C-alpha cells in the first residue's frame, strides 16, 4: 500500500504542477487581454485547487505511514538536511502552499470586480507554486 500511494503521489505531482502553471497562464493572459473574469477562469482555478487538495490527502497519508515522515522525527533527523526536508520542510511548506491556493481561489470566487478576481489568482497561485517547487525532494522524486 505504501509503495502504491508513494508512486501515485509522485506521479500526481506532475499533473498538479501542470494544472497550476496552466491556471496561472490562463488567468494572466486573460488579464493582459483585458477580458472579464468568467466562470471558466474560476473553473481553471478550481482545478488547480482540487489537484492540490487531492495531493494533500495523499501526502498526509504518506506522512503517517512512511518511514520518512512522522516516524522519522528526531534530533538526528533535524541535523540531516535530506531527512529534515522529508520529515518537516516538505510537508510544512506544501500545507502552506495549499492554504495559499485555497485562499486565492476563495478570494477569486467571492470577488465581484474582475481585477480583484484576477489579482487573487495571480498573487496566491504563483506564490504557492514557488513554495511547492522549492520543497520538492528533486533527488528522489521519481525513483519509485
Nearest to 98 by CA among 72, 132, 70: 132
Query: What is the pTM for the complete model shown?
Result: 0.91
Return d(Cα 109, Cα 116) in angstroms, integer: 10
Match 497561485 to its residue by C-alpha cell: 125
pLDDT range class, residue 142, cuts 50, 70, 90: low
Q: Tell me: the pLDDT tens digits for 115-134?
A: 999 999 999 999 999 999 99
CA Rg value for the chain:
17
**9, pLDDT greater than 80:** yes
**82, pLDDT greater than 80:** yes
Which residues contact residue 72 at a Cβ distance below 8 angstroms, ignoring those fewer than 6 apart? 66, 83, 86, 87
Return d(Cα 120, Cα 13) in angstroms, integer: 23
Return d(Cα 15, Cα 122) in angstroms, integer: 19
Q: Tell me: the pLDDT tens digits for 14-68?
A: 999 999 999 999 999 999 999 999 999 999 999 999 999 999 999 999 999 998 8
Task: For 67, list phi and psi in degrees, rounded to 5.
Answer: -70, -10
Residue 97 contacts residue 47 (beta carbons within 8 Å): no
Amino acid at each position: 500500500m505504501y509503495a502504491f500511494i508513494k508512486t501515485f503521489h509522485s506521479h500526481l505531482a506532475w499533473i498538479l504542477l501542470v494544472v497550476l502553471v496552466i491556471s496561472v497562464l490562463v488567468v494572466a493572459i486573460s488579464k493582459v487581454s483585458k477580458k472579464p473574469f468568467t466562470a471558466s477562469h474560476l473553473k481553471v482555478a478550481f482545478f488547480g485547487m482540487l489537484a492540490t487538495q487531492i495531493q494533500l490527502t495523499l501526502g498526509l497519508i504518506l506522512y503517517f505511514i512512511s518511514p520518512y515522515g512522522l516516524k522519522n522525527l528526531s534530533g538526528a533527523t533535524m541535523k540531516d538536511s535530506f531527512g529534515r526536508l522529508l520529515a518537516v520542510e516538505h510537508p510544512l511548506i506544501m500545507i502552506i502552499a495549499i492554504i495559499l491556493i485555497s485562499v486565492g481561489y476563495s478570494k477569486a470566487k467571492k470577488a465581484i470586480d474582475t481585477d480583484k478576481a484576477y489579482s487573487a489568482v495571480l498573487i496566491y497561485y504563483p506564490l504557492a507554486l514557488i513554495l511547492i517547487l522549492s520543497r520538492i525532494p528533486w533527488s528522489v522524486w521519481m525513483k519509485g
